[in-house]
Chains A and B, each alone.
Chain A
Amino acid sequence: MEIDVETLKRDWTGFTFDTAEFEVHAADLVGFAGACGEVAPRYTDPSDPDFQAVPNYTARYVGRRVLPDNFPRLGGGYGFDAGKCVTPLAPIRPGDKITARSQIHDVYTKTGRSGTMLFIVHRMEFSNQRGEPVSVVDWRMVQQDRGAR
């Protein structure tokens, strides 16, 4: 199967295909931060007046769908999680109700020793109950593609 990256970008990027809501709990913030070795009290101590989620906390969230309905099956190769980029925009605190909106932000290829890899960038934009943007997470999913051009 030959995959046209430019067509994929044109047809599938830039629109919201999933919305999900999450409630933030203090115990989860403490557990996440502590397990990662965090020591700053504003991330580990709920009694700290500035207690909040660690900067990459929203990377834990997954929406109801990873890709839009009817997104093409690509090349028959295997897929894996290649990385995440997190941009924190405002503090996330216990009791916050977070809304995540997902879109395909980008599609591109890289060619290396193991062949051509197709990267799909799944972007989740998070806002709180006041509608304030709090975080953006770009999740790079990779497919080893046998026909990207």
Chain B
Amino acid sequence: MSLSYDDVDFGAELPPTAPDVTLGNVRRFTAASGMTFGRFHDHEEARKEGLPGAIVPGIMSQGMLVALIHRWAPRAVVRKIDTIFRAPILVDSHPVARGVVTDKNDETRTIEIDLTIQNEAKETRVVGTATVELP
């Protein structure tokens, strides 16, 4: 059964996800999005730029947060998503995406969700907010 607006409480936590940021999957993303910079899909190229290794594109991080929302509420319509790229997520690392409902608007049947992606060291690398309409 799909989640509806009335099912959601203020403070509800979305089930965390473990996005796939293996090199192979990031290469799939860069191929589909036309992001050809070596720092996204080649560890050596990234190191030449002074990075510790290849990094996940910011917009892929944003897409992972959109996917987090749809995995929780498949019929949700994302009306707006704003993400801040605080620090890079490394390719081949093990990040976790999380979300929590911070507001509800009965008139528009929309909710606000605070979003984060943390790395293995529990450092928050990406933060964001989304406005989401639910049926």
> Which residues of chain B from 1 to 32 have a CB within 8 Å of any chain A CB?
17, 19-20, 25-26, 28-29, 31-32
Chain B interface main SS type? helix
Within 8 A of B (CB), among A69-118: 81-88
Residue of A with least CB distance to B57: A60
* B78 and A55 form a contact (CB under 8 A): yes
What is the size, in residues, of chain B's interface with A at 8 Å between Cβ atoms?
A: 33
| Residues on the B chain within 8 Å of A27, using CB | 32
Assembled-state Cα–Cα distance A60/B25 (Å): 16
| Pick from B60, B66, B79: contact of A87, CB under 8 Å | B79
For B19, the chain A residues whose CB sits under 8 A away are 36-37
How far, in whole Å, are A81 and B63 apart by their CA atoms in the complex?
A: 16
Q: Establish whether residues A82 and B59, one from each chain, have CB atoms under 8 Å apart when the complex forms.
A: no
Q: In the assembled complex, which residues on chain B have CB atoms less than 8 Å from the CB atom of A84?
A: 58-59, 62, 82-83
Q: Mark B74-87, 1 if CB is under 8 A from A, else 0.
A: 10001111111100
Cβ contact of A35, chosen from B25, B58, B70, B78, cutoff 8 A: B25
A55: B residues at CB distance < 8 A: 66, 78, 81
Please tell me if the beta carbons of A35 and B84 are within 8 angstroms of each other in the complex: no
A35 engages B60 (CB within 8 Å): yes
Q: Give bound CA distance, A31 to B34, whole Å.
A: 11
- In the assembled complex, the CB of A98 is this many whole angstroms from the nearest CB of chain B, namely 13
Q: Which of B19, B34, B59, B85: most chain A CB closer than 10 A?
A: B59
- C-alpha spacing A54/B64, complex, angstroms: 11
Q: When the two chains form their complex, are residues B59 and A56 in contact, meaning their CB atoms are under 8 A apart?
A: yes
Q: Are the CB atoms of B82 and A85 closer together than 8 Å?
A: yes
Shortest CB-to-CB span from B57 to chain A, Å, is: 9
User: Could you tell me the distance in whole angstroms from the C-beta of A27 to the nearest C-beta in chain B?
Assistant: 7
Jot down 17 A-B pairs with beta carbons below 8 A, ordered by A.
A27-B32, A28-B32, A28-B33, A30-B32, A33-B67, A35-B25, A36-B60, A37-B19, A37-B20, A37-B63, A37-B68, A55-B78, A60-B33, A84-B59, A85-B83, A86-B62, A88-B78
